[in-house]
């Protein structure tokens, strides 16, 4: 039987997931160590609220996609320990999603910072 929805239990599960990511995924930790200072740095930029929202939003997108990547990799590892071309494809595609999120963040940050630099 499926347990009843409970807001606090679901929030607890989400926090447990974040803790698991931090403990078990070095890429998540590395991204956090870069993203947290970047978010702090963004508060000192003389940019509009919308630009600030984009800068922070693309950084959170990286963390979101990394969490999904880790979940997919855990599921694939749970299903099989043997090498399989479809398992490799699933893991590679999830990694590609993280890579594309990072590229998007670099593009957005680059655009905003270059525009800010030339506005001075």
Catalytic residue annotation: 66
CA proximity to 98, closest of 66, 57, 70, 71: 66
Sign of torsion, CA 109 102 31 53? positive
Angle at 56 between CA 50 and CA 59, to 5 degrees: 140
């Amino acid at each position: 039987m499926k347990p009843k929805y409970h807001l606090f239990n679901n929030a607890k599960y989400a926090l447990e997931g974040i803790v698991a990511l931090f403990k078990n995924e070095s890429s998540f930790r590395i991204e956090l160590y870069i993203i947290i200072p970047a978010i702090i740095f963004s508060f000192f930029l003389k940019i509009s609220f919308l630009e600030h929202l984009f800068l922070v939003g693309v950084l959170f997108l990286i963390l979101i996609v990394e969490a999904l990547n880790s979940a997919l990799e855990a599921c694939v590892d749970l299903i099989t320990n043997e090498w399989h071309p479809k398992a490799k494809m699933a893991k590679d595609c999830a990694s590609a999603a993280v890579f594309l999120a990072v590229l998007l963040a670099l593009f957005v940050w680059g655009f905003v910072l270059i525009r800010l630099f030339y506005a001075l």
